[in-house]
């Protein structure tokens, strides 16, 4: 689908974010989980736990000079196992792929489910 076709078909898109995130979204745009982890300088095992496994609960990032950032759970992915995926893709690979993206919905109803 071409960009113009997408815009013609869905002139409005929806994204779900915590209301407190609005000032940051205005300033920095919508950031993926991976981009937020970069911005908050999350590394090592803490990053691995957030980015490479389905999150059972929300995670709040904190860093000096930055407002708290909420990363939502991924409960719909649970339980996800390597055997559920194709072509040798691992759960860690799949989670990293998902966490590098920002998700938009074409209807408000889908966004609030």
Q: How many CA atoms lie within 13 A of 112 on its CB side?
A: 3
Mean pLDDT of 40-59: 97
Domain ranges of the chain: 3-112
Chain segment 56-94, per-residue pLDDT in tens? 999 999 999 999 999 999 998 899 999 999 999 999 999
C-alpha closest to that of 34 among 71, 74, 77 = 71
Mean pLDDT of 2-24: 93
Look at residue 113 in the predicted model and tell me its pLDDT.
73
Mean pLDDT of 49-59: 97
pTM for the full predicted model: 0.88
**Does residue 112 surpass a pLDDT of 90?**
no
């Amino acid at each position: 689908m071409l960009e113009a076709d997408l815009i013609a078909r869905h002139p409005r898109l929806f994204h779900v974010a915590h209301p407190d995130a609005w000032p940051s979204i205005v300033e920095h745009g919508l950031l993926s989980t991976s981009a937020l982890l970069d911005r908050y300088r999350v590394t090592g095992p803490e990053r691995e736990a957030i980015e490479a496994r389905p999150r059972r609960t929300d995670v709040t990032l904190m860093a000096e000079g930055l407002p708290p950032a909420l990363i939502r759970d991924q409960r719909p992915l649970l339980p996800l196992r390597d055997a559920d995926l194709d072509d040798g893709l691992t759960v860690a690979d799949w989670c990293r792929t998902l966490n590098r993206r920002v998700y938009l919905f074409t209807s408000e109803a889908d966004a609030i489910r």
